[in-house]
Amino acid sequence: MLVRQGFKYRLEPTGAQLEKLERTASICRYLWNSALALQRHRLERRGRILSYEDLASELRTAKHTEGLEFLKKAHSQAEQQKLMDLSDAFTDFFAGKKGFPRFKKKGCDDSFRQPQSVRVEGRHVFVPGIGLIRFRRSRDPLGTIKNATLSKRGKHWFISVQTEREVADPVHPSSSEIGIDMGVAKFAALSTGELVKPIDSFRRLEGQMRTAQRVLARKKKFSCNWKKQKAVISRLHVRIADARNDFLHKTSTAISVIRFHRLRRGHAVVYLEDLKVRNMSASARGSVQEPGRNVRSKSGLNKAILDQGWFEFRRQLTYKELWRGGRVVAVPPQHTSQTCAKCGHVSAENRRTQAQFVCVACGHEDDADVNAANNIMRAGQVLSVCGGGPPGPSAKQKPRAARKGRSRAAKAA
């Protein structure tokens, strides 16, 4: 099996190297914005957008144009990769996968990619156009380095190298299955009865963020003090993102790896709800003609949902299970919180409170999220074996009816 993995390190560039990094990122950002403006102009005139080859030809011409000689100061492959990214962005837009490409802003999109000739030499990494840069080698990169992306977060530069290596087809050492119910008050409830508390990284620093933004609002825009305060806010955002990412990696690894962290054993099959986070966190503000209802409470719920990082957790868990021979199964979330895991009775009255589940049919009592996790695991097992069906006893009857219908049709034929 071919494994592609990224290894991210913090760089420690010299003053001259830092200037080269900033200049290359600035030129690549300029190319993206200029090419995007050109493509938008052609679309507004109902013309054909330029392909990557056409953009690369325009770049070669621009390097010899008066006033644009600064384009020669960046490595040509980094510039070509940025134009290639824009071409891919338009391809995804026309395919309906992503929205229309946006302009890149200084301080938010400082990055570029080198597709080849990147190598690690001890505690230094060689990047074409920059030279040997010292970095913090926290672990050794495994496999062959294929490309590297250099990016700036806060006041530090990082390098992420993508590697490839061939490994034997993995077999997960465990054969157990588990269902996971995602939430806000509890980050995750496992069908085994274990509960994972959320870290709420944004909520912890929300007060500091609010104060820092108010201080920024009183500064003169683009003054020295304004830039210093802007850097303070940027560092807070980095702290929030790093804390959330660390929590998600530890939790996803604990579920997939044997005897790690708080969980005693990993699980080969993980059943998760197929949550549409974008729809769940959509704004309820509405319009002037049709204003929304409960906008303030919905805004707080949206903030809490986005603070959990459900999609990123599912992404991490998916590739970690794949590397170890396991798999993740997405389950439709309908009625998982209203169904009794013991008798299969479905009713909204089963969950009168947020935390406790009491079945009105059989009297079964359990933690509401643990009950939902058991329903998710049962629905996932049905989905894996029969190709679908809602949780509950009725899910076992539909496949038999379908088989009977197929046999009658076969006899009639």
Torsion of CA 94, 97, 102, 107, to 10 degrees: -150
Token look-up 């071409």 returns 87
Q: Which of 110, 273, 321, 366 is catalytic?
A: 273
Contact (Cβ atoms closer than 8 angstroms) between residue 195 and residue 289: no
Give me the numbers of helices (H) and strands (E) for the chain, helices first please. Answer: 10, 14
Q: How far apart are CA 354 and CA 146, in angstroms?
A: 49
Classify residue 287 by burial, with Cβ atoms within 10 Å: 0-12, 13-18, 19+: exposed
Reported residue count of the chain is: 413
Strands 269-273 and 177-182: parallel
Catalytic residue check, 369? yes
Q: How far is CA 314 from CA 252, 320, 326, 328, 387, in A?
A: 8, 10, 14, 8, 21
Q: How far apart are CA 195 and CA 295, in angstroms?
A: 30
Strands 195-196 and 144-153: unpaired
Q: How far apart are CA 342 and CA 391, in angstroms?
A: 11
Q: How far is CA 272 from CA 190, 229, 264, 367, 379, in A?
A: 10, 41, 20, 18, 10
Q: Which of 79, 321, 366, 369 is catalytic?
A: 369
Provide the greatest CA pair distance for the chain.
84
Classify residue 317 by burial, with Cβ atoms within 10 Å: 0-12, 13-18, 19+: buried
Catalytic residue check, 321? no
Q: How far apart are CA 373 and CA 354, in angstroms?
A: 15
What are the φ/ψ torsions at residue 139 (nearest 5 degrees)? -160, 160
Q: How far apart are CA 129 and CA 149, in angstroms?
A: 13
Angle among Cα 377, 382, 387 to the nearest 5 degrees reads 130
Token look-up 């169904």 returns 339
Q: Which of 79, 110, 181, 321 is catalytic?
A: 181
Q: How far apart are CA 3 and CA 254, in angstroms?
A: 20
Catalytic residues: 181, 273, 369
